[in-house]
Every structure is written in C-alpha cells, then in structure tokens.
Amino acid sequence: MFIDEVKIHVKAGDGGNGCMAFRREKFVPRGGPSGGDGGRGGDIVMVASPHHNTLLHFRFNPEHKAERGVHGEGSQRTGREGKGIVLPVPVGTVVYDLETGEPLHDFSFLGDKFLVAKGGRGGRGNQHFATPTHQAPTEHEQGFAGEEKRLRLELKLLADVGLVGFPNAGKSTLISRLSAARPKIADYPFTTLEPNLGVVRLNEDDTRTLVIADIPGIIEGAHEGKGLGLRFLKHIERTKLLLHLVDISEGSHREPVADFRAILAELETFSEEMLRKPMIVVATKIDAAGDPERLEALRAEAGKHGMEFFTISSVTGQGVSELKYALFDRVKAAEPIPSPEAGSAFRPWE
C-alpha cells in the first residue's frame, strides 16, 4: 500500500520532579538540603531511513510518546533521563505543523536527522535553593513538560525525471522499457494507481544512473479534483526534468495538440514552478501513427514553447535509445555544481 500523507501526534517526555530531602547521617547534625534534580524527558527524533519508501508504518501507529524523566532522590541523586524515540521516515518526507501549516523540516538525504519534539528539563531539587540566610529550603521544582505537537507528514518522491501525460500515453510502458520497473500496463485509463520509480542505467559499461518517476495520468480538470493525477503531482515537484508524453496513434481518437496544451494548463494551475522546469516533449506510439500531419502539428507546438521533441515507440524500441541518452545529458546539465565546502550527503545515524 502506497501511503504518502499521514497525520501523527508526538509527545516528548516530561522532566522528572526535583526532590526535597535533607541529610540525616548520624554524625552530621546540620546536614542541610540534599534533594537531587529530576531527569530530563526523552526527545523524539526523526531520521531519513533507507528502509522505508512510504509512510505506511505511521498509518496504524499515529501516537508516539517518549519516556518521562525519573524524579530526583535524596543524597543529591539525579533522576535518570527518559528514553527517547527515533522515528524513521523515507527520504523526501516533509514535516508540517498540523495547527499552523508551517513546514518544519524537509528530509532530502539519507541519515538526515531532525529533533521534532524536545524533552522537558528536569526540576531542581531543594539543594539549589540554599543560601547563607536560608539554609533549610523546602522549595523544589516540578519537571518541565516536554514538547507536544500534531504533525502532518507528506512524502514527495525524489527523482531526476518526472513523466507526465494523459492516461494511456505510454508512460508505464516507457519506464518498463528503460528500467527494471514493471508497473501494471493495460489499455484502459488509470492503470497506474500509485507512483512508480525506475532506475535507468546508461549502458553496461557506464555506472551512471538516473531515477524516473511515473505518476497516474493527468486529465483535464485535474486541479478541480478530477482523475488521480492531482494528488500525485507533488511527487514530481522535485524532479530536474519533465518528460511530457503525448499519444499520437490513430487508435487513441484524441487530438495530440489539444492534449499537450491541456497538460500544460493543469501543470501551471498546480504550480507555476512546474512550467519553469526543463521539459522534453515525446510523441509516443509512433508505430501506430497514421496521419503525419498530427505528428508535425505537435512538433510545431512544442517548438513554439522552445521544447525539445522526440518520437518513440516503446513497443518496437524506435527512438528509445536516443531519448535515454538525451535524458542523461539534460539531467546532468540541470544539476547544480557542488560547492567545495559541501560535505557528503550521507550522515550515519548517531
């Protein structure tokens, strides 16, 4: 089950109470205060884990509470700290405050850690309140409450290339041709019900790879809640490049140019940032194209927007290799140059 959004409640541990006590040893007639401090409450930390790719483990376990600190004791003994909780999340998870909607953290690489709820400080024992004029204090502090939050977690997949297009435009077939991913493929709308990721390797002699994200097809009116695409468009927000697939086969009974314009309009409605991404237009199912005017009209429309244009047939393999090499070139050109002070993206868990 692919779960990409959940609501959870986290409660860090409260601090232990400070103790009120006095020394009562036989040969210490004026022992004075000896109340120890309470222990600190446990923290709740989130960590980007390589072992999770959805938020399913939060769906049936939304409540997370860390251990409270132990109370202080006599003889100036400090209470034990409460045990914290580590919550693993997939890379690409964004944490929001459910009450305010404020984004708190974005997990963009493995091992990234975020203190989501801080444990409460332990209260001070009465030993801290002694003064030269107040030598037998009875004051002591209660432990401080740990942070408590209601959160919304949203998963946005990390991929280099995002596939967009109408249902049955050939997105799943193409990703199965380029990678080892085997999404469900059938000749009816909304075959793809959840995002699929595929890892593409340039060739056997080259270790370079890129990740392609295939989302359910977008239809006209998706921004109004029609179809499945709107819910999953967030999964291509982080991509470096968009691959816009348009079906030009005669059997589709669709108008390629109208489909192309409709998808652009839906992307713009969802987020204007989408149209600022580099985009390659791909005419699919070229083996079943009968009218060359449909193809040329789509090519001209892509040229008006300054977009590169390719023709492919995922069934016969025509044009697929050329498209793959172009994807690697465009993704490399879109990658930022790392700064000299940038360290490794992976941080081991503490």
At 220 the pLDDT is 58
Contacts 24+ apart (CB under 8 A), 335-342: 335/240
Q: How confident is the model at residue 338 (pLDDT cuts 50, 70, 90)?
A: very low
d(Cα 289, Cα 77) in Å, to the nearest integer?
Answer: 82
Min mean pLDDT across 65-69, 86-90, 186-190, 255-259 is at 186-190
DSSP secondary structure string, 42-65?
PPEEEEE-TT-SSSHHHHT--EEE
Helices (H), the chain: 56-59, 171-178, 229-232, 256-270, 272-276, 292-304, 320-334
**Is residue 188 a contact partner of residue 330, using CB atoms and an 8 Å limit?**
no
Q: 340 pLDDT exceeds 60?
A: no
At 70 the pLDDT is 94
Q: Which of 45-54, 58-67, 206-215 has the highest mean pLDDT?
A: 58-67
Q: How far is CA 188 from the centre of its chain?
A: 30
Structure tokens of 126?
């009465």
Structure tokens of 117?
């709820």
- Which of 216, 294, 281 is closest to 243 using CA atoms? 281
* Helix/strand/coil percentages in the chain, nearest 5: 25, 25, 50
Q: 190 pLDDT exceeds 80?
A: no
Q: How confident is the model at residue 348 (pLDDT cuts 50, 70, 90)?
A: very low
At 287 the pLDDT is 81
At 181 the pLDDT is 57
Radius of gyration of the chain (CA): 29
**Is residue 158 a contact partner of residue 211, using CB atoms and an 8 Å limit?**
yes
- Which of 269, 240, 64 is closest to 158 using CA atoms? 240
Q: How confident is the model at residue 1 (pLDDT cuts 50, 70, 90)?
A: low
Report all structural domains of the chain as residue ranges with CATH numbers, in order of start.
1-155 (2.70.210.12), 161-334 (3.40.50.300)
Q: 234 pLDDT exceeds 80?
A: no
d(Cα 119, Cα 147) in Å, to the nearest integer?
Answer: 6
At 332 the pLDDT is 80
d(Cα 26, Cα 36) in Å, to the nearest integer?
Answer: 20
Q: 229 pLDDT exceeds 60?
A: no
